[in-house]
Structure 1
Amino acid sequence: MFEAISRQGTHSVKWDEAKKKFGTDELLPLWVADMDLASPPCVQESMLKRASHPLYGYTMYPDAYYESIQHWMQDRFSWLIEKEWIVPCYGVVPSLNFIISAYSQEGDGIIIQTPLYPPFSSSVKHQKRRVLDNTLVYENGSYHIDFEDFEHKAKEAKLFLLCSPHNPTGRVWSEEELEKIIDICIEHEVLIISDEIHADIVYKKTHHSIGSFEKIMHHCVILNAPSKTFNVAGLNTSYAIIPDTRLRQAYRVEQDRSGISNGNPFGLEALMSAYKEGAPWLEELKEHLLSNIGYVNTFLNEHQLPIKAVPTEATFLMWLDCTGMGLSHAQLVDFFVHKAKLGLNDGKSFGQAGEGFMRLNVGTSQEVLKEAMQRLLSAYKAVC
Structure 2
Amino acid sequence: MFEAVNRQGTHTVKWDESRKKFGTDDLLPLWVADMDLASPECVQEAIKKRAFHPLYGYTVYPEGYYESIQNWMQNRFSWKIEKEWIVPCYGVVPSLNFIISAFSQEGDGIIVQTPIYPPFVSSVKHKNRRVLDNTLVYENGSYHIDFEDFAYKAKEAKLFLLCSPHNPTGRVWNREELEKIIEICIENDVLIISDEIHADVVYEKVHHIIGSFDKIMDHCVILNAPSKTFNIAGLNTSYAIIPDKSLRQAYILEQNRSGITNGNPFGIDALISAYTEGAPWLERLKEHLLSNITYVKAFLQEHNIPISVVPTEATFLMWLDCKEMGMSHDTLVDFFVYKAKLGLNDGMSFGDAGEGFMRLNVGTSKEVLKEAMERLLNAYKEVC
TM-score range, shorter chain: over 0.9
Secondary structure of 2:168 counterpart: coil
Q: How far, CA to CA, are the matches of 1:144 and 1:104 in structure 2?
A: 27
1:45 CA drift (Å): 0.4
Q: Residue in 2 aligned with 1:170?
A: 170
Given residue 347 of structure 2, which amino acid in structure 1 is its aligned partner?
A: G
Q: Residue in 2 aligned with 1:240?
A: 240
Q: Residue in 2 aligned with 1:15?
A: 15
Q: Residue in 2 aligned with 1:317?
A: 317
Secondary structure of 2:11 counterpart: coil
Q: Residue in 2 aligned with 1:265?
A: 265
Given residue 88 of structure 2, which amino acid in structure 1 is its aligned partner?
A: P
Q: Residue in 1 aligned with 2:333?
A: 333
- Does residue 309 of structure 2 align to residue 301 of structure 1? no
Secondary structure of 2:257 counterpart: helix
Q: How far, CA to CA, are the matches of 1:15 and 1:309 in structure 2?
A: 25
1:228 CA drift (Å): 0.2
Q: Residue in 1 aligned with 2:49?
A: 49
Secondary structure of 1:256 counterpart: helix
Deviations 1:177-231 (A, max 9, x none): 0000000000000000000000000000000000000110010000000000000
Secondary structure of 1:165 counterpart: coil
Secondary structure of 1:324 counterpart: helix
1:17 CA drift (Å): 0.3
Deviations 1:108-139 (A, max 9, x none): 00000000000000000000000000000000
Q: How far, CA to CA, are the matches of 2:216 and 2:45 in structure 1?
A: 39
Deviations 1:249-275 (A, max 9, x none): 000011000001110000000000000
Q: Residue in 2 aligned with 1:369?
A: 369
Q: How far, CA to CA, are the matches of 1:17 and 1:309 in structure 2?
A: 27
- Runs (4+) of structure 1 exceeding 2 A deviation are none
Given residue 269 of structure 2, which amino acid in structure 1 is its aligned partner?
A: E
Q: How far, CA to CA, are the matches of 1:309 and 1:28 in structure 2?
A: 20
1:100 CA drift (Å): 0.1
Given residue 68 of structure 1, which amino acid in structure 2 is its aligned partner?
A: S
Q: Residue in 2 aligned with 1:110?
A: 110
Q: How far, CA to CA, are the matches of 2:86 and 2:275 in structure 1?
A: 15
Q: How far, CA to CA, are the matches of 2:282 and 2:124 in structure 1?
A: 33
- Does residue 35 of structure 2 align to residue 35 of structure 1? yes
Deviations 1:293-339 (A, max 9, x none): 00000000000111001000000000000000000000000000000
- Does residue 99 of structure 2 align to residue 125 of structure 1? no
Q: Residue in 1 aligned with 2:160?
A: 160
Unaligned runs of 5+ in 1: none
Q: TM-score, normalised by structure 2?
A: 1.00
Q: How far, CA to CA, are the matches of 1:269 and 1:303 in structure 2?
A: 46
Q: How far, CA to CA, are the matches of 2:374 and 2:211 in structure 1?
A: 43
Matches within 5 A, 1:148-297: 148-297=148-297
Q: How far, CA to CA, are the matches of 2:217 and 2:347 in structure 1?
A: 33
Q: How far, CA to CA, are the matches of 1:286 and 1:246 in structure 2?
A: 38
- Does residue 138 of structure 2 align to residue 141 of structure 1? no
Q: How far, CA to CA, are the matches of 1:21 and 1:281 in structure 2?
A: 32
Given residue 245 of structure 1, which amino acid in structure 2 is its aligned partner?
A: K
Q: How many residues align?
A: 384
Q: How far, CA to CA, are the matches of 2:202 and 2:282 in structure 1?
A: 11
1:361 CA drift (Å): 0.1
Q: How far, CA to CA, are the matches of 1:279 and 1:330 in structure 2?
A: 42
**Superposition RMSD in Å:** 0.3
1:57 CA drift (Å): 0.3
Q: How far, CA to CA, are the matches of 1:193 and 1:144 in structure 2?
A: 19
Q: Residue in 1 aligned with 2:101?
A: 101
Q: How far, CA to CA, are the matches of 2:242 and 2:188 in structure 1?
A: 20
Secondary structure of 2:240 counterpart: strand
Identical pairs, percent: 82
Q: How far, CA to CA, are the matches of 1:6 and 1:347 in structure 2?
A: 27
Q: How far, CA to CA, are the matches of 1:114 and 1:60 in structure 2?
A: 38
Unaligned runs of 5+ in 2: none
Q: How far, CA to CA, are the matches of 2:189 and 2:369 in structure 1?
A: 46
Given residue 360 of structure 2, which amino acid in structure 1 is its aligned partner?
A: L
Given residue 374 of structure 1, which amino acid in structure 2 is its aligned partner?
A: E
Q: How far, CA to CA, are the matches of 1:173 and 1:105 in structure 2?
A: 29
Q: How far, CA to CA, are the matches of 1:222 and 1:303 in structure 2?
A: 42
Secondary structure of 2:97 counterpart: helix
1:52 CA drift (Å): 0.4
1:360 CA drift (Å): 0.1
Q: TM-score, normalised by structure 1?
A: 1.00
Q: How far, CA to CA, are the matches of 1:75 and 1:23 in structure 2?
A: 45
1:84 CA drift (Å): 0.2
Q: How far, CA to CA, are the matches of 2:145 and 2:376 in structure 1?
A: 32
- Does residue 82 of structure 2 align to residue 82 of structure 1? yes
Secondary structure of 1:292 counterpart: helix
